[in-house]
Amino acid sequence: MNADPETPVAVTVDGRDVTIGSGSTILDACRAADIETPTLCWAPNLTPVNTCRVCVVELEGSRTLVPSCSRPVEAGMAVQTDSERVRHSRKMVLELLASGVDLAQADELAGWIDHYDADVERFGPSVERIDEPVRIQDDLYIRDYDKCVLCYKCVEACGDDAQHTYAIAVAGRGFDARISTEFDISLPESACVYCGNCVGVCPTGALQFKTEFDLRVAGEWRPDDQSLTTTVCSYCGVGCNLELHVQDERIVKVTSPEDHSVTSGHLCIKGRFGWQYVHNVEPGDSPRE
Q: Nearest CA to 195 among 139, 157, 156? A: 157
Buried b (16+ CB within 10 A) or exposed e, 26-59: bbbbbbbbebebbbbbbbebbebbebbbbbbbbb
Left (φ > 0), alpha (ψ -120 to 50) or beta: where does 254 sit?
A: beta
Number of residues that bind ligand SF4 (CB under 6 A): 23
C-alpha dihedral, 192 to 282 to 143 to 112, nearest 10°: -110
Spatial contact of 11 and 5, defined as CB atoms under 8 Å apart: no
Q: Which is nearer to ligand FES, 42 or 273 (CB)?
A: 42
- The site string for ligand FES over 93-132 (x = CB under 6 A, - otherwise) reads ----------------------------------------
Q: Does 152 bind ligand SF4 (CB under 6 A)?
A: yes
Q: Does 77 bind ligand SF4 (CB under 6 A)?
A: no
Q: Does 277 bind ligand SF4 (CB under 6 A)?
A: no
Among 67, 159, 196, 200, binds ligand FES (CB under 6 A): 67
| Phi (first) and psi of residue 88, to 5 degrees | -60, -45
Question: Nearest residue to ligand SF4, using CB?
Answer: 271
Among 154, 167, 187, 215, binds ligand SF4 (CB under 6 A): 154
- What's the rounded Cα separation, in Å, for the pair 172 and 170? 7
Residues near ligand FES, by CB under 6 A:
39-42, 50-55, 67, 69
Residues near ligand SF4, by CB under 6 A:
148-154, 179, 201-202, 204, 206-207, 233, 235-236, 238-240, 267-268, 270-271
